Amino acid sequence: MIFENRLRIFNAFIAEFPKDRPVTKYLPEYFRRNKQMGSRDRRNLSNAIYSYFRLGNCLEELKIDERLFVALFLTTQNTDDFLTYFRPDLAERINLPFPDKVEFLQKIYPSFNFQALFPFHSHLSAGIAHDAFIAAQLVQPDLFIRTNKERAINLEHYLNESQISFEKNGNCYRLPNATKLNNADYLYDVQDQSSQYTANYFQPKPNEQWWDCCAASGGKSLLLHELEPTVTILASDNRASILQNLEIRFQQAGIRNFRRREIDLLAEINAFEKESFDGIILDAPCSGSGTWARTPEMLIQFKEDKIAYFMNLQRTIAENAIQFLKVGQPLIYITCSVFKEENEEAIAYFLANLPVKLEKMELIKGYEQKADTMFVARLIKL
């Protein structure tokens, strides 16, 4: 009865879930409307939902219940009483190595195609190991936070007092993905390990003027300021509301030497003089496909034709931004995408059509480290 009720709750959620909403936004709303659900019910439902969406469109001919059982089988290595109740044949093999699980499923379901777990695999950037990347989509990445030297002692004291396990690499901290950091947000910023790594490409010099032209909440600007506090930053975005959040975040981090400005980089821009900046960070709007292990619902929400949309968007933004960069200075191009059209093919386009040369570029293989997969390149204006 308990397990049947869990399945009923799951089916009710799937039936009403809007296919264009992020789970992280919708799930809290669902819980607020269903206050009778206890903490265990919420945890079980969350686990089932994330596991289910990791199946993408694979085995879509099956009923929802059956697809959930397959998803739970693929995404866990722990004995599951829920799965034991409904599918003991799967539960008794829950500890098998992943390749053996795939082989077993192919015997039961001849239509099961491992590649279909990530339906856009033909677009993956060069250098990505397809099977390893697809397998990584079945695992929730870790939580990464960043702090600075001034806050580090207090942060580590908080983590130790709260008995929260962590690994530290410089100012980057790795925590279990479900960690709750209650009332401690003043000690850290949430930022994926791969995102923090992109700062290695910035190389700012004292007193330079830099433009973070798609700044969003300002994560890359925070990294830039940490590398060189004397840099003056212009942080722009086309969304006024997110720039307000950016200003709050900058103030909390003690950044004073900055301006924020609402700028639409798809339009004709005459916001400032040509060749105004010593460096530009273009953290480009993109598919976000390198982060889908965190947001697996995107496997069914994302449409393939959106790749071309983002590709053209990135080209237009780069073409408009480059005119404001000084000769000999860097444009840092960043995506959280695994698609070649947004990564190495974007760089090939820039080299052919913009006055730039490539200094270096890198696919950051976060899927090998339970982190996001990203791409970064340092281009120098000619």
| Residues assigned a catalytic role | 336
Q: How far apart are CA 254 and CA 222, in angstroms?
A: 10
Q: How far apart are CA 141 and CA 295, in angstroms?
A: 10
Q: How far apart are CA 204 and CA 209, in angstroms?
A: 9
Contact 164, 180 (CB under 8 A): no
Contact 83, 68 (CB under 8 A): no
Q: Please state, in angstroms and as integers, the Cα–Cα distance from residue 259 to each residue in 2, 17, 118, 215, 272, following that order.
A: 56, 40, 41, 12, 13
Contact 42, 31 (CB under 8 A): yes
Residue type for 28, please?
Answer: P
Contact 272, 324 (CB under 8 A): yes
Other CB atoms within a 10 A radius of the CB of residue 130 amount to 13
Q: Are strands 374-381 and 232-237 parallel, antiparallel or unpaired?
A: unpaired
Other CB atoms within a 10 A radius of the CB of residue 164 amount to 15
The H or E element spanning position 356 is strand 356-364
The H or E element spanning position 98 is helix 98-108
Q: How far is CA 210 from the centre of its chain?
A: 24
Per DSSP, the three-state class of 145 is strand
Contact 278, 326 (CB under 8 A): yes
Q: How far apart are CA 351 and CA 368, in angstroms?
A: 29
Burial of 373 (0-12, 13-18, 19+ CB in 10 A): buried
Q: What six digits make up the tokens of 291?
A: 């982060």
- Phi and psi angles of residue 273, each rounded to the nearest 5 degrees, phi first: -65, 150
